[in-house]
Amino acid sequence: MKVTYLGHASFKVESDGKTVYVDPWLNGPTSPIKVNDVKKADVVLVTHDHADHGYQEAIEICKKTGAYFIAINELAIQARDEGVEKVHTLNIGGSVNVGGVDVTLVQAFHSCETGAPTGFIVKFPSDSFYHPGDTGLFATMELFGELYDIDAFFAPIGSYYTMSIKQAALATKLIKPKIVIPMHYNTFPAIEADPEKFRDAVSETAPETKVEILVPGLSKDLEF
């Protein structure tokens, strides 16, 4: 699995010949690329409709590349109404297979305008990741780890709008991923956080999990 951090909560994930974008806020202040730089996408996932999670950019990427747009029912219908041809209107707990990639929609505890806030668990033939969207800590994360054997967990650590470092470290303990990557921090003053402190916290709560700290634009080939 090759993971490229695009800043804030945005990722490009490549595995088994497939390219998945999650919350592609490419117009954000930390994104190293713009929509015009996107050459290939198979699936674009949007966790909720807050502007800093890339709903509008996702629409543009899907129209440009022919990728599937996947989100909770109401948001996906809205995308279809805005001209996206390939849409899957999942609801929480539901899954769909897109060209060999299994996408499962799961709950998040946050806010939004349309539908409900969500996260995604994505399983390629070779590996998997969990992007929880913007969320607080919740105990069901432990069940996700049991059900899906998650390889990579993208953990929001900035507090204020999401989990704090301490909560994200406990979430890592519950999920038991092989690798955790911190996200959703240092974009704005309100969410300033030190990822090295997160590394230290994980070393205490979940020492079997490796912490990978990525700067925007950095790609990392993850081995599980």
Per-10-residue mean pLDDT of the chain, 224 residues long, equals 98 98 97 97 98 98 98 98 98 98 98 98 98 98 97 98 98 98 98 98 98 97 96
Residue showing tokens 């996206």: 84
Domain locations along the chain = 2-211
CA 155 – CA 64 distance, rounded (Å): 29
φ, ψ for residue 200 (rounded to 5)?
A: -65, -40
For the domain made up of 2-211, the CATH class stated in words is alpha beta
What is the pTM for the complete model shown?
0.98
- Please answer whether residues 155 and 182 qualify as being in contact, where contact means their C-beta atoms are separated by less than 8 angstroms: yes
Q: What's the angle, vertex CA 153, arms to CA 129 and CA 117, rounded to 5?
A: 85
| pLDDT one-digit tens code per residue, 162-213 | 999 999 999 999 999 999 999 999 999 999 999 999 999 999 999 999 999 9
- Please answer whether residues 26 and 34 qualify as being in contact, where contact means their C-beta atoms are separated by less than 8 angstroms: yes
Q: What is the number of helices (H) and of strands (E) in the chain?
A: 5, 14
Q: How much is the pLDDT for 124?
A: 98
Q: How much is the pLDDT for 156?
A: 98
- Please answer whether residues 130 and 120 qualify as being in contact, where contact means their C-beta atoms are separated by less than 8 angstroms: yes
Q: What are the residues whose beta carbons fall under 8 Å from the beta carbon of 104, sequence distance 6 or more? A: 93, 94, 95, 120, 121, 122, 123, 148
Half-sphere exposure of 224 (CA within 13 A, CB side): 18
Q: How much is the pLDDT for 49?
A: 98
- Please answer whether residues 64 and 35 qualify as being in contact, where contact means their C-beta atoms are separated by less than 8 angstroms: yes
* CA 124 and chain centroid, separation: 15
